[in-house]
Amino acid sequence: MLKLLYFWVFIFILCGCVGEQKPIQKSSISARSIIPDFYEEYGEIKRGQGFFQALKSISIDNAVALQLINALRDEVEFSTLKVGDKLKATYNRKKELVAFSFSQNPAEIHTVKLNNNKWDYFLEQKPTFWFSKIISGELRKGSTLVEDLKEKGVDASVVADVVNVLLCKVNFRFHARTGDKYKVVLSQRMYENQTIETKVLYTSYDGKRAGFSEAFWYEDEEKGSTFTAHYTEDGQALIRSGLRYPLSSLHIRSHYGYRRHPVTGRRTMHRGVDLRGRIGRPVHAVASGKVILSTYNKYAGNKVAIKHRDGSSSYYFHLNARKVKKGDWVRSYQVIGTVGATGRVTGPHLHFGFKNSKGRWMNPMHKRMIATPKLDGARFLRLQEQIAQIKGHIQDLELSQVARYLVANIPNQKVEYKLRLGVDLPSVKI
Protein backbone atom coordinates (compact mmCIF):
# COMPACT_ATOMS: atom_id res chain seq x y z
CA MET A 1 0.00 0.00 0.00
CA LEU A 2 2.80 2.37 1.03
CA LYS A 3 4.62 1.53 -2.18
CA LEU A 4 1.61 2.59 -4.17
CA LEU A 5 1.49 5.88 -2.31
CA TYR A 6 5.16 6.51 -3.10
CA PHE A 7 4.44 5.75 -6.72
CA TRP A 8 1.67 8.34 -6.93
CA VAL A 9 3.71 10.92 -5.03
CA PHE A 10 6.44 10.29 -7.58
CA ILE A 11 4.03 10.72 -10.51
CA PHE A 12 2.69 13.85 -8.86
CA ILE A 13 6.16 15.36 -8.66
CA LEU A 14 6.89 14.31 -12.22
CA CYS A 15 3.79 16.00 -13.56
CA GLY A 16 4.28 19.20 -11.68
CA CYS A 17 0.49 18.99 -11.83
CA VAL A 18 0.17 21.35 -14.79
CA GLY A 19 0.88 21.32 -18.48
CA GLU A 20 2.58 18.63 -20.43
CA GLN A 21 4.69 16.00 -18.80
CA LYS A 22 8.25 15.46 -19.75
CA PRO A 23 9.77 12.04 -20.27
CA ILE A 24 11.75 10.79 -17.31
CA GLN A 25 15.34 11.95 -17.26
CA LYS A 26 17.17 8.91 -15.99
CA SER A 27 19.98 10.98 -14.53
CA SER A 28 17.57 12.82 -12.25
CA ILE A 29 16.39 9.64 -10.61
CA SER A 30 18.51 8.31 -7.83
CA ALA A 31 16.54 5.27 -6.72
CA ARG A 32 16.35 3.00 -9.75
CA SER A 33 13.76 0.78 -8.18
CA ILE A 34 11.04 3.43 -8.42
CA ILE A 35 11.36 4.09 -12.15
CA PRO A 36 7.88 3.28 -13.40
CA ASP A 37 7.49 0.94 -16.33
CA PHE A 38 5.34 3.44 -18.16
CA TYR A 39 4.96 7.17 -18.22
CA GLU A 40 2.45 9.46 -19.86
CA GLU A 41 2.47 12.71 -21.77
CA TYR A 42 -0.62 14.88 -22.07
CA GLY A 43 -1.54 17.38 -24.73
CA GLU A 44 -4.48 19.12 -26.31
CA ILE A 45 -5.37 20.60 -29.67
CA LYS A 46 -4.37 24.25 -29.70
CA ARG A 47 -5.68 27.01 -31.93
CA GLY A 48 -4.47 26.65 -35.52
CA GLN A 49 -2.93 23.29 -34.76
CA GLY A 50 -3.39 20.20 -36.89
CA PHE A 51 -3.46 16.68 -35.54
CA PHE A 52 0.15 15.98 -36.57
CA GLN A 53 1.44 19.06 -34.74
CA ALA A 54 -0.56 18.18 -31.64
CA LEU A 55 0.94 14.68 -31.71
CA LYS A 56 4.41 16.15 -32.09
CA SER A 57 3.84 18.18 -28.92
CA ILE A 58 3.58 14.91 -26.99
CA SER A 59 6.70 13.52 -28.68
CA ILE A 60 5.00 11.41 -31.36
CA ASP A 61 6.88 11.54 -34.65
CA ASN A 62 5.23 11.63 -38.07
CA ALA A 63 5.75 7.96 -38.88
CA VAL A 64 3.99 6.81 -35.69
CA ALA A 65 1.40 9.59 -36.09
CA LEU A 66 0.45 8.14 -39.47
CA GLN A 67 -0.06 4.71 -37.93
CA LEU A 68 -2.24 6.22 -35.19
CA ILE A 69 -4.35 8.19 -37.65
CA ASN A 70 -4.82 5.08 -39.79
CA ALA A 71 -5.83 3.08 -36.71
CA LEU A 72 -8.30 5.73 -35.57
CA ARG A 73 -9.71 7.20 -38.76
CA ASP A 74 -12.72 4.90 -38.94
CA GLU A 75 -13.69 5.60 -35.36
CA VAL A 76 -12.84 9.25 -34.84
CA GLU A 77 -14.47 12.00 -36.84
CA PHE A 78 -11.36 14.09 -37.46
CA SER A 79 -13.46 16.66 -39.31
CA THR A 80 -14.76 17.80 -35.93
CA LEU A 81 -11.30 18.31 -34.43
CA LYS A 82 -11.50 21.30 -32.11
CA VAL A 83 -9.42 23.36 -29.73
CA GLY A 84 -9.22 21.65 -26.36
CA ASP A 85 -9.58 18.05 -27.61
CA LYS A 86 -7.41 15.90 -25.34
CA LEU A 87 -4.50 13.62 -26.21
CA LYS A 88 -2.56 11.20 -24.05
CA ALA A 89 0.51 9.20 -24.97
CA THR A 90 1.81 6.30 -22.89
CA TYR A 91 5.48 5.32 -23.28
CA ASN A 92 7.50 2.42 -21.94
CA ARG A 93 10.95 2.75 -20.37
CA LYS A 94 12.54 2.61 -23.80
CA LYS A 95 10.53 5.71 -24.72
CA GLU A 96 8.47 3.70 -27.19
CA LEU A 97 4.85 4.66 -27.60
CA VAL A 98 2.65 1.80 -26.39
CA ALA A 99 -0.77 3.46 -26.14
CA PHE A 100 -2.48 6.59 -27.32
CA SER A 101 -5.81 8.14 -26.32
CA PHE A 102 -7.87 10.85 -27.90
CA SER A 103 -11.05 12.41 -26.56
CA GLN A 104 -13.32 15.16 -27.83
CA ASN A 105 -15.48 15.07 -24.72
CA PRO A 106 -14.90 13.61 -21.26
CA ALA A 107 -17.46 10.83 -21.79
CA GLU A 108 -15.81 9.15 -24.78
CA ILE A 109 -12.17 8.18 -24.90
CA HIS A 110 -10.75 6.54 -28.02
CA THR A 111 -7.66 4.49 -27.26
CA VAL A 112 -5.28 2.47 -29.38
CA LYS A 113 -2.82 0.07 -27.76
CA LEU A 114 0.17 -1.58 -29.35
CA ASN A 115 -0.25 -5.34 -29.56
CA ASN A 116 2.21 -7.42 -31.62
CA ASN A 117 3.12 -4.43 -33.80
CA LYS A 118 -0.55 -3.71 -34.45
CA TRP A 119 -2.71 -1.01 -32.94
CA ASP A 120 -5.83 -2.36 -31.24
CA TYR A 121 -8.70 0.04 -30.82
CA PHE A 122 -10.80 0.50 -27.64
CA LEU A 123 -13.61 2.88 -26.87
CA GLU A 124 -14.23 3.86 -23.28
CA GLN A 125 -17.71 5.29 -22.78
CA LYS A 126 -18.84 6.91 -19.55
CA PRO A 127 -22.54 6.95 -18.64
CA THR A 128 -24.39 9.95 -20.03
CA PHE A 129 -28.05 10.95 -20.08
CA TRP A 130 -30.27 13.13 -22.20
CA PHE A 131 -32.62 15.82 -21.02
CA SER A 132 -34.85 18.18 -22.93
CA LYS A 133 -35.78 21.76 -22.49
CA ILE A 134 -38.05 24.16 -24.23
CA ILE A 135 -37.16 27.75 -24.95
CA SER A 136 -39.81 30.09 -26.25
CA GLY A 137 -40.25 33.80 -26.50
CA GLU A 138 -41.28 36.82 -28.43
CA LEU A 139 -39.09 39.20 -30.34
CA ARG A 140 -38.87 42.49 -28.48
CA LYS A 141 -38.37 45.81 -30.16
CA GLY A 142 -34.88 46.07 -31.59
CA SER A 143 -34.01 42.47 -30.68
CA THR A 144 -33.28 39.59 -33.06
CA LEU A 145 -33.87 35.86 -32.67
CA VAL A 146 -30.12 35.30 -32.38
CA GLU A 147 -29.74 37.88 -29.61
CA ASP A 148 -32.82 36.61 -27.81
CA LEU A 149 -31.65 32.98 -27.80
CA LYS A 150 -28.14 33.94 -26.72
CA GLU A 151 -29.60 36.02 -23.89
CA LYS A 152 -31.51 32.94 -22.77
CA GLY A 153 -28.22 31.12 -22.45
CA VAL A 154 -28.35 29.05 -25.63
CA ASP A 155 -24.89 28.15 -26.89
CA ALA A 156 -23.78 30.07 -30.02
CA SER A 157 -23.39 26.91 -32.11
CA VAL A 158 -26.92 25.78 -31.20
CA VAL A 159 -28.28 29.24 -32.05
CA ALA A 160 -26.59 28.94 -35.46
CA ASP A 161 -28.26 25.54 -35.91
CA VAL A 162 -31.71 26.91 -35.11
CA VAL A 163 -31.30 29.91 -37.38
CA ASN A 164 -29.95 27.80 -40.24
CA VAL A 165 -32.98 25.55 -40.10
CA LEU A 166 -35.44 28.44 -39.97
CA LEU A 167 -33.61 30.42 -42.66
CA CYS A 168 -34.92 28.00 -45.26
CA LYS A 169 -38.41 29.21 -44.44
CA VAL A 170 -38.05 32.64 -42.90
CA ASN A 171 -36.35 35.67 -44.36
CA PHE A 172 -35.41 37.26 -41.03
CA ARG A 173 -33.91 40.31 -42.61
CA PHE A 174 -37.11 41.44 -44.25
CA HIS A 175 -39.86 39.61 -42.41
CA ALA A 176 -38.95 39.56 -38.72
CA ARG A 177 -41.24 41.80 -36.67
CA THR A 178 -41.52 42.77 -33.02
CA GLY A 179 -43.88 40.33 -31.33
CA ASP A 180 -43.03 37.37 -33.59
CA LYS A 181 -43.07 34.15 -31.56
CA TYR A 182 -40.55 31.33 -31.58
CA LYS A 183 -40.17 27.97 -29.90
CA VAL A 184 -37.12 25.74 -29.68
CA VAL A 185 -36.87 22.29 -28.10
CA LEU A 186 -33.38 21.06 -27.31
CA SER A 187 -32.26 17.61 -26.29
CA GLN A 188 -28.97 17.76 -24.46
CA ARG A 189 -26.63 14.90 -23.73
CA MET A 190 -25.09 15.34 -20.33
CA TYR A 191 -21.98 13.96 -18.69
CA GLU A 192 -21.90 15.00 -15.07
CA ASN A 193 -22.75 18.70 -15.31
CA GLN A 194 -21.43 19.20 -18.78
CA THR A 195 -23.43 19.31 -22.02
CA ILE A 196 -21.49 17.27 -24.56
CA GLU A 197 -24.00 17.17 -27.38
CA THR A 198 -27.13 19.13 -28.27
CA LYS A 199 -29.85 18.28 -30.75
CA VAL A 200 -32.44 20.78 -31.91
CA LEU A 201 -35.50 18.50 -31.76
CA TYR A 202 -37.96 21.12 -32.84
CA THR A 203 -38.07 24.73 -33.84
CA SER A 204 -40.90 26.98 -34.92
CA TYR A 205 -41.36 30.60 -35.86
CA ASP A 206 -44.67 32.41 -35.98
CA GLY A 207 -44.35 35.82 -37.56
CA LYS A 208 -46.72 38.59 -38.59
CA ARG A 209 -45.04 38.79 -41.97
CA ALA A 210 -43.10 35.53 -42.04
CA GLY A 211 -46.08 33.28 -41.34
CA PHE A 212 -45.79 30.02 -39.40
CA SER A 213 -43.01 27.49 -40.02
CA GLU A 214 -41.79 24.57 -38.02
CA ALA A 215 -39.07 21.95 -38.37
CA PHE A 216 -38.71 18.52 -36.80
CA TRP A 217 -35.52 16.58 -36.15
CA TYR A 218 -35.54 13.24 -37.94
CA GLU A 219 -33.17 10.52 -36.87
CA ASP A 220 -32.44 7.75 -39.33
CA GLU A 221 -31.79 4.19 -38.15
CA GLU A 222 -28.19 4.12 -39.29
CA LYS A 223 -25.59 6.02 -37.28
CA GLY A 224 -24.06 8.88 -39.25
CA SER A 225 -26.85 8.70 -41.84
CA THR A 226 -27.03 11.70 -44.14
CA PHE A 227 -30.84 11.47 -43.83
CA THR A 228 -30.65 12.50 -40.18
CA ALA A 229 -31.66 16.16 -40.42
CA HIS A 230 -34.51 18.64 -40.02
CA TYR A 231 -37.68 18.28 -42.09
CA THR A 232 -41.09 19.86 -42.29
CA GLU A 233 -44.11 17.79 -41.28
CA ASP A 234 -44.69 16.72 -44.89
CA GLY A 235 -41.13 15.45 -45.20
CA GLN A 236 -39.51 18.32 -47.09
CA ALA A 237 -35.83 18.76 -46.34
CA LEU A 238 -35.12 22.20 -44.94
CA ILE A 239 -32.48 22.55 -47.62
CA ARG A 240 -34.25 21.78 -50.87
CA SER A 241 -31.58 21.94 -53.46
CA GLY A 242 -28.03 20.77 -53.44
CA LEU A 243 -25.91 17.82 -54.41
CA ARG A 244 -27.07 14.46 -53.12
CA TYR A 245 -24.54 12.73 -50.87
CA PRO A 246 -22.64 9.97 -52.67
CA LEU A 247 -23.08 7.60 -49.68
CA SER A 248 -26.00 7.14 -47.31
CA SER A 249 -23.80 7.72 -44.26
CA LEU A 250 -21.12 10.28 -43.82
CA HIS A 251 -17.83 9.90 -42.01
CA ILE A 252 -14.83 11.74 -43.38
CA ARG A 253 -11.63 9.72 -43.03
CA SER A 254 -9.45 12.23 -44.76
CA HIS A 255 -9.96 15.85 -45.79
CA TYR A 256 -9.47 17.97 -48.81
CA GLY A 257 -6.15 19.85 -48.84
CA TYR A 258 -2.58 19.20 -47.83
CA ARG A 259 -2.06 16.10 -45.78
CA ARG A 260 0.42 13.38 -45.13
CA HIS A 261 -0.35 10.58 -47.57
CA PRO A 262 -1.54 7.47 -45.68
CA VAL A 263 0.53 5.17 -47.91
CA THR A 264 3.62 7.16 -48.91
CA GLY A 265 3.81 9.38 -45.80
CA ARG A 266 4.71 12.34 -48.00
CA ARG A 267 3.01 15.71 -47.77
CA THR A 268 0.71 15.88 -50.76
CA MET A 269 -2.36 17.71 -51.93
CA HIS A 270 -5.49 15.62 -51.44
CA ARG A 271 -7.96 16.67 -54.14
CA GLY A 272 -11.09 15.29 -52.62
CA VAL A 273 -12.43 13.78 -49.43
CA ASP A 274 -12.20 10.16 -48.33
CA LEU A 275 -15.49 8.83 -47.03
CA ARG A 276 -15.77 5.70 -44.96
CA GLY A 277 -17.83 2.94 -46.47
CA ARG A 278 -18.00 -0.81 -46.33
CA ILE A 279 -17.10 -2.77 -49.46
CA GLY A 280 -20.16 -3.21 -51.64
CA ARG A 281 -22.09 -0.21 -50.33
CA PRO A 282 -23.86 1.66 -53.15
CA VAL A 283 -22.24 4.84 -54.43
CA HIS A 284 -24.69 7.42 -55.76
CA ALA A 285 -24.33 10.10 -58.42
CA VAL A 286 -24.42 13.45 -56.58
CA ALA A 287 -26.37 15.06 -59.42
CA SER A 288 -27.65 14.07 -62.85
CA GLY A 289 -25.25 14.23 -65.76
CA LYS A 290 -23.22 12.35 -68.33
CA VAL A 291 -20.57 9.76 -67.46
CA ILE A 292 -17.28 11.09 -68.86
CA LEU A 293 -15.02 8.45 -67.34
CA SER A 294 -15.47 4.84 -66.27
CA THR A 295 -12.13 3.10 -66.15
CA TYR A 296 -9.36 1.59 -63.99
CA ASN A 297 -5.98 3.03 -63.05
CA LYS A 298 -3.43 1.80 -60.53
CA TYR A 299 -3.75 4.82 -58.21
CA ALA A 300 -7.46 5.65 -58.38
CA GLY A 301 -8.53 2.04 -58.91
CA ASN A 302 -11.94 1.78 -60.51
CA LYS A 303 -13.00 5.33 -61.16
CA VAL A 304 -16.08 7.07 -62.50
CA ALA A 305 -16.55 10.74 -63.34
CA ILE A 306 -19.77 12.54 -64.19
CA LYS A 307 -20.15 15.89 -65.88
CA HIS A 308 -23.16 17.86 -64.65
CA ARG A 309 -25.39 20.36 -66.39
CA ASP A 310 -23.67 23.44 -64.96
CA GLY A 311 -20.27 22.21 -66.23
CA SER A 312 -19.06 20.96 -62.85
CA SER A 313 -17.98 17.33 -62.50
CA SER A 314 -17.82 14.74 -59.75
CA TYR A 315 -15.24 11.96 -59.31
CA TYR A 316 -15.57 8.62 -57.53
CA PHE A 317 -12.40 6.56 -56.94
CA HIS A 318 -11.43 3.12 -55.55
CA LEU A 319 -14.78 1.57 -56.51
CA ASN A 320 -15.23 -2.15 -56.14
CA ALA A 321 -17.58 -2.30 -59.12
CA ARG A 322 -18.50 0.27 -61.75
CA LYS A 323 -22.16 0.20 -62.80
CA VAL A 324 -22.07 2.80 -65.58
CA LYS A 325 -20.22 3.20 -68.87
CA LYS A 326 -18.67 6.22 -70.49
CA GLY A 327 -21.39 8.15 -72.34
CA ASP A 328 -24.25 6.98 -70.08
CA TRP A 329 -26.68 9.54 -68.73
CA VAL A 330 -27.35 9.19 -65.01
CA ARG A 331 -30.05 10.56 -62.75
CA SER A 332 -29.30 12.26 -59.47
CA TYR A 333 -28.82 9.58 -56.76
CA GLN A 334 -28.57 6.76 -59.31
CA VAL A 335 -26.22 3.99 -58.15
CA ILE A 336 -23.06 4.27 -60.26
CA GLY A 337 -20.90 1.72 -58.46
CA THR A 338 -20.01 0.24 -55.10
CA VAL A 339 -17.46 1.13 -52.42
CA GLY A 340 -14.20 -0.74 -52.79
CA ALA A 341 -10.49 -0.72 -52.08
CA THR A 342 -9.07 -0.75 -55.59
CA GLY A 343 -5.94 1.27 -56.50
CA ARG A 344 -3.48 2.65 -53.96
CA VAL A 345 -5.37 2.60 -50.66
CA THR A 346 -4.96 1.51 -47.05
CA GLY A 347 -8.52 0.23 -46.82
CA PRO A 348 -11.98 0.45 -48.35
CA HIS A 349 -13.34 3.97 -48.77
CA LEU A 350 -14.77 6.28 -51.38
CA HIS A 351 -12.55 9.08 -52.62
CA PHE A 352 -14.97 11.75 -53.73
CA GLY A 353 -13.65 14.67 -55.78
CA PHE A 354 -15.34 17.67 -57.33
CA LYS A 355 -14.33 20.11 -60.07
CA ASN A 356 -16.15 23.41 -60.47
CA SER A 357 -17.52 24.56 -63.83
CA LYS A 358 -14.11 26.08 -64.64
CA GLY A 359 -12.51 22.67 -64.23
CA ARG A 360 -10.73 23.46 -60.93
CA TRP A 361 -10.62 20.98 -58.08
CA MET A 362 -12.52 22.21 -55.07
CA ASN A 363 -13.43 20.90 -51.66
CA PRO A 364 -16.66 18.96 -52.30
CA MET A 365 -17.71 19.60 -48.71
CA HIS A 366 -18.01 23.28 -49.60
CA LYS A 367 -20.90 22.38 -51.88
CA ARG A 368 -24.32 22.35 -50.32
CA MET A 369 -25.28 18.70 -49.90
CA ILE A 370 -28.56 17.08 -49.02
CA ALA A 371 -29.62 13.51 -48.40
CA THR A 372 -32.94 14.02 -50.15
CA PRO A 373 -35.29 16.84 -51.14
CA LYS A 374 -38.19 14.87 -49.61
CA LEU A 375 -38.34 11.82 -47.35
CA ASP A 376 -40.41 8.95 -48.71
CA GLY A 377 -41.33 5.32 -48.02
CA ALA A 378 -40.23 3.84 -44.71
CA ARG A 379 -38.27 6.97 -43.86
CA PHE A 380 -41.36 9.16 -44.25
CA LEU A 381 -43.34 6.85 -41.93
CA ARG A 382 -40.54 6.96 -39.40
CA LEU A 383 -40.58 10.76 -39.60
CA GLN A 384 -44.33 10.76 -38.84
CA GLU A 385 -43.74 8.58 -35.78
CA GLN A 386 -40.97 10.82 -34.55
CA ILE A 387 -43.05 13.96 -35.16
CA ALA A 388 -45.89 12.49 -33.07
CA GLN A 389 -43.41 11.79 -30.30
CA ILE A 390 -41.86 15.24 -30.49
CA LYS A 391 -45.31 16.85 -30.35
CA GLY A 392 -46.24 14.81 -27.28
CA HIS A 393 -42.95 15.74 -25.77
CA ILE A 394 -43.56 19.47 -26.36
CA GLN A 395 -46.96 19.22 -24.62
CA ASP A 396 -45.31 17.61 -21.62
CA LEU A 397 -42.59 20.22 -21.53
CA GLU A 398 -45.12 23.02 -21.74
CA LEU A 399 -47.25 21.51 -18.99
CA SER A 400 -44.30 21.23 -16.73
CA GLN A 401 -43.47 24.35 -14.84
CA VAL A 402 -39.87 23.33 -14.34
CA ALA A 403 -38.67 21.99 -17.65
CA ARG A 404 -35.19 21.29 -16.32
CA TYR A 405 -36.34 18.51 -14.02
CA LEU A 406 -38.81 17.08 -16.39
CA VAL A 407 -37.28 13.62 -16.76
CA ALA A 408 -38.99 12.54 -13.54
CA ASN A 409 -42.37 14.01 -14.51
CA ILE A 410 -43.02 12.67 -17.95
CA PRO A 411 -44.75 9.33 -18.54
CA ASN A 412 -42.66 6.25 -19.30
CA GLN A 413 -43.58 6.28 -22.93
CA LYS A 414 -41.89 9.61 -23.46
CA VAL A 415 -38.77 8.53 -21.65
CA GLU A 416 -38.56 5.54 -23.95
CA TYR A 417 -38.59 7.94 -26.83
CA LYS A 418 -35.68 9.80 -25.31
CA LEU A 419 -33.90 6.53 -24.85
CA ARG A 420 -34.33 5.75 -28.48
CA LEU A 421 -33.18 9.14 -29.66
CA GLY A 422 -30.14 9.15 -27.44
CA VAL A 423 -27.10 7.02 -28.07
CA ASP A 424 -27.01 5.74 -24.52
CA LEU A 425 -28.87 6.52 -21.37
CA PRO A 426 -27.68 4.02 -18.79
CA SER A 427 -28.42 6.21 -15.81
CA VAL A 428 -32.12 6.69 -16.58
CA LYS A 429 -33.38 3.11 -16.88
CA ILE A 430 -37.04 3.05 -16.00
- In the complex, the smallest distance separating the C-beta of residue 269 from Zn ion, rounded to whole angstroms, is 11
Give Cβ neighbours of residue 333 (< 8 Å, ≥ 6 apart).
244, 284, 285, 372
**Of the listed pieces 223-231, 329-337, 346-354, 396-404, which binds Zn ion according to CB under 5 A?**
346-354
Long-range contacts of residues 154-159, Cβ cutoff 8 Å, at least 24 apart: 154/184, 154/186, 155/195, 155/198, 157/198, 158/186, 158/198, 158/200
> What is the distance between the alpha carbons of residues 297 and 284, in angstroms, rounded to a whole number?
21
Q: Which is nearer to Zn ion, 272 or 422 (CB)?
A: 272
What's the closest the beta carbon of residue 65 comes to Zn ion, in angstroms?
18
Map residue 335 onto helix, strand or coil. Answer: strand
**Least Å from the CB of residue 262 to Zn ion:** 9
**In the complex, least distance from residue 55 CB atom to Zn ion, rounded to whole angstroms:** 21
Tell me the window of 145-153, 157-165, 202-210, 350-358 that interacts with Zn ion (CB under 5 A).
350-358
Binding mask 298-337 for Zn ion (x = CB under 5 A): ----------------------------------------
Of the candidates 348, 157, 237, the one whose C-alpha atom is nearest the C-alpha of residue 245 is 237
Stretch that binds Zn ion, among 43-51, 205-213, 345-353, 383-391 (CB under 5 A): 345-353
85 binds Zn ion, rule: CB under 5 A: no
- Nearest by Cα to 182 from 135, 234, 233: 135
Confirm if 336 and 283 have CB atoms less than 8 A apart. Answer: yes
Q: Which residue's CB is nearer to Zn ion, number 88 or number 349? A: 349
Scanning 38-46, 63-71, 210-218, 348-356 for contacts with Zn ion by CB under 5 A, the matching segment is: 348-356
Contact stretch for Zn ion (CB under 5 A) within 103-111, 140-148, 213-221, 268-276: 268-276
Site string for Zn ion, 107-136 (x = CB under 5 A): ------------------------------
The Cα angle at residue 57 between residues 52 and 62, in degrees rounded to 5: 35
Tell me whether residue 159 or residue 273 sits nearer to Zn ion (CB atom).
273
| Nearest residue (CB) to Zn ion, 235 versus 364 | 364
Instruction: Give the nearest distance from C-beta 260 to Zn ion in angstroms.
Output: 13
Closest CB to Zn ion among 178 and 297? Answer: 297
- The conformation of residue 343, written as its DSSP 8-state character, comes to S
- The whole-angstrom separation of Cα 259 and Cα 353 is 15
Shortest distance in whole angstroms from residue 170 CB to Zn ion: 38
Residue 151: which H helix or E strand, with range?
helix 145-151
Tell me, by CB under 5 A, how many residues bind Zn ion: 2
178 or 264: whose CB is closer to Zn ion? Answer: 264
Residue from 169, 244, 308, 351 binding Zn ion (CB under 5 A):
351
Which residue in the set 274, 281, 287, 315 belongs to the binding site for Zn ion (CB under 5 A)? 274
Kindly state the smallest distance separating residue 220's Cβ from Zn ion, in Å. Answer: 25
Q: Which residue is nearest to Zn ion (CB)?
A: 351
b/e for 382-410, b at 16 or more Cβ within 10 A? bbeebbebbeebbebbeebeebeebbeeb
The C-alpha torsion from 148 through 151 and 154 to 157, rounded to 10°, is 80
Least distance to Zn ion from the beta carbon of 244, Å?
20
132 strand-pairing partners: 187
In angstroms, what is the minimal distance from the CB of 344 to Zn ion? 10
Number of Cβ within 10 Å of residue 46's Cβ equals 12
Phi, psi of 289 (to 5 degrees): 165, -170
Question: By the criterion CB under 5 A, which residues form the site for Zn ion?
Answer: 274, 351
